[in-house]
Amino acid sequence: MNDEELLRILRFTVCSDIAPELTDQAVDEFISASPESSPEHLRRLTAKFVEKVFASIHGEPVKDLQQKWTFGRWFEAMRESVRLTRKEIATALNQDPSFVERLEAGDVVPWAFSARDIGDLVCLFRVHMNAVSDLISNSIAVSQLPGLGPVAARSQGGRISEARGHSAKRALDLYLARKAGPAKPDQTVTDWMSALRSDLKRRGAKHLL
Amino acid sequence: MREMVNSREFVTKVVGGDADSFRVLFSYLTPKLSRFIAGLFSLPHQDADEIAVDAMLKVRRAVADFDASRGAKLTTWIFEIAKNTAIDHLRKQETRGKFVEVPLDDAVLQPSNEMMNGSSDGVDEGRVETPHRPEEVKMRKALDSLSKEDQAILLSRLTLEYEDIARVENASVGTLRTRHSRALARLRAAYLKGNCS
């Protein structure tokens, strides 16, 4: 039996379910000998990881919101529920983390983003257009409320805390979404929603339509 | 870095569900897992990436059950999960005729001390059982009959070049070639002896 045949059977065996368990020595040796990965490779792995996290929790696309959320706050809550960072979501979307931050905070209305960018987001989170419509409707309702400005909150020491301000704004958004009445989208939003549907159709995301 | 991710402090954080620590672990280990799988199973890098990520998803869900007190190393546990994930993927590929993504159902988690007992990596997600080829059974027996040193060099050479091993072990390539050659000879003898009995 030559070396080639012997090594072929060895490899089959090591790659089978009767393979011996890996030893600390073997693993340590491999890790030590393995070069550092490129940032691009890590980016691809991170994006794939994020996709699979949402695929595992949303086997069926999300259709019902169960409570009234604004667009950005729902995505923020969903992200936090699976313990992912904005940076990880941004990596999966091939966007800057500021894109995710602005979207979640509602600093920019969703229909100000391109249908393609929101299509990427919707596909990643596996959200059905029924749910997207509800989220947009809630966001419209909140955006139409008068007198809203930047929210600040004071800590007990009397100083304004940015984190506390963010937390207060999130609570306010949720409150307002629940209290706001039904909102009718104007032509801009209607056209944008059509563009979003077309985008999802173009990329074959029938399960979201 | 390898020592850090196996340190008691870091492992405690990961097991405790600390997201930042898991992120560090993911960034450090996943590319290496992918390379390991690609090398051991002779897979394209894209497939190896898929499997490495699936493995880290399993780790994320099962790590709360990892028991370091029995002497298990976190990195070894993770590599074992990755190896078994690759085996499962390939078995299912054989039965389906193509490489497909395997949906991750809710894991049936078992304590990681099962790994210490040599039965599994502690994460069993519907392992596909197929009959073993006779030569694989004989090879496993032959491997088990070898010394730990012989096993180590034979298995290392499946994923690493001599130069890589030499750098890590601070040995010469020539010494390693000799060690490997002798280990291979002993493996052949044990395998053929098993064939005759």
Q: Are residues A49 and B103, on separate chains, in Cβ contact within 8 Å?
A: no
CA distances to A34, B52, B183 from B163, in Å = 12, 25, 18
Q: Does B176 touch chain A (CB under 8 A)?
A: no
For the stretch B59-90, pLDDT in tens is 999 998 888 877 889 999 999 999 999 999 98
Rounded distance between C-alpha atoms, residue B197 and residue B178, angstroms: 29
Q: Which one of B13, B14, B18, B23 would you mutate to disrupt binding with A, by most A Cβ within 10 Å of its Cβ?
A: B23
Identity of residue B162: Y
For the stretch B19-63, pLDDT in tens is 889 999 999 999 999 999 999 999 999 999 999 999 999 999 999
Q: Which one of A1, A4, A22 would you mutate to disrupt binding with B, by most B Cβ within 10 Å of its Cβ?
A: A22
Q: Are residues B31 and A42, on separate chains, in Cβ contact within 8 Å?
A: yes
Q: Which of A52, A44, A58 is nearest to A94 (CA)?
A: A44
Rounded distance between C-alpha atoms, residue B100 and residue B90, angstroms: 9
Q: Are residues A9 and B30, on separate chains, in Cβ contact within 8 Å?
A: no
Identity of residue B175: T
Q: Closest Cα of chain A to B8: distance in Å?
A: 16
Closest partner CB to A18 (pick from B91, B137, B168) = B137
* Per-position b or e across A170-204, b if 16+ CB within 10 A of its CB: beebbebbeebeebebeeebeebbebbbebbeeee
Residue B117 has phi, psi (to 5 degrees) of: -80, 0
For the stretch A118-173, pLDDT in tens is 999 999 999 999 999 999 988 888 877 765 555 544 445 555 555 666 677 777 77
Rounded distance between C-alpha atoms, residue A128 and residue A122, angstroms: 8
Residue reference for tokens 């992912």: A84
Q: Between residues 39 and 58 of chain B, which touch chain A (CB distance below 8 Å)?
A: 40-42, 49-50, 52-54, 56-57
Q: Which residue of B has its CA nearest to A33?
A: B164
Strand, coil or helix: A56: helix
CB atoms within 10 A of CB A150: 7
Pull the structure tokens for residue B120.
């599994």
Residue A50 has phi, psi (to 5 degrees) of: -60, -45
Q: Is the ipTM of this complex over 0.85?
A: no
Instruction: Read off the pLDDT band of B108 (50, 70, 90).
Output: very low
